[in-house]
Amino acid sequence: MKQIFKIFCIFFMFAAVFALSACQNEGPAEKAGKTVDETTVKVGDKMENAGDAVVKGAENVGDYMDDTAITAKIKADILQDPLLNVFEIDVVTTDRVVKLGGTVDSKLSIDRATEIARSVKDVNSVQNNMLIKE
């Protein structure tokens, strides 16, 4: 009986060693899992890069919206001013720099349009290219 027990123990040890060595070999499922993990990491990296690009694009859109809002505010203020004619004055804003153009009736109109543009929040500077009608 001792002999059978020894043989059984040796057989069990060989079976355990064989089973453990088989676990170390990658089968199709392990390879697929590893591929999925690697792909997930790559996709995550690409998503992070795409997220950075979206944030940067949103910042640029935000700047554009700021410029558009500045232009709209200046035009609205010019429209409300009885001295000025909004159809005579061109307003363009780029990077918070306002450019005024057009032809108006007097130096007073030029000064008033410049004053309005400078008074709007977030305007960095005003370039006045307006002319007086002759």
Using alpha carbons, select from 131, 61, 126 the residue that is nearest to residue 91: 126
| pLDDT band with cut points at 50, 70 and 90 for residue 41 | low
Tens digit of each residue's pLDDT (9 = 90 or more) over 81-129: 998 988 899 999 999 999 999 999 999 999 999 999 999 988 999 999 9
Cα 72 vs. chain centroid, distance in angstroms? 24
Annotated domain spans of the chain? 42-134
Q: What are phi and psi of 39, to 5 degrees?
A: -65, -40
Q: How far apart are CA 81 and CA 132, in angstroms?
A: 18
Q: Exposed/middle/buried for 109, CB within 10 Å: 0-12, 13-18, 19+?
A: buried
Average pLDDT over residues 51-69: 64
CA dist 75 → 10, 30, 63, 108, 120 (Å): 94, 66, 18, 17, 11
Name the maximum alpha-carbon separation found in the chain: 126
pLDDT (0 to 100) of residue 134: 81
CATH number for the domain running over 42-134: 3.30.1340.30
Strand-pair partners of 125: 97
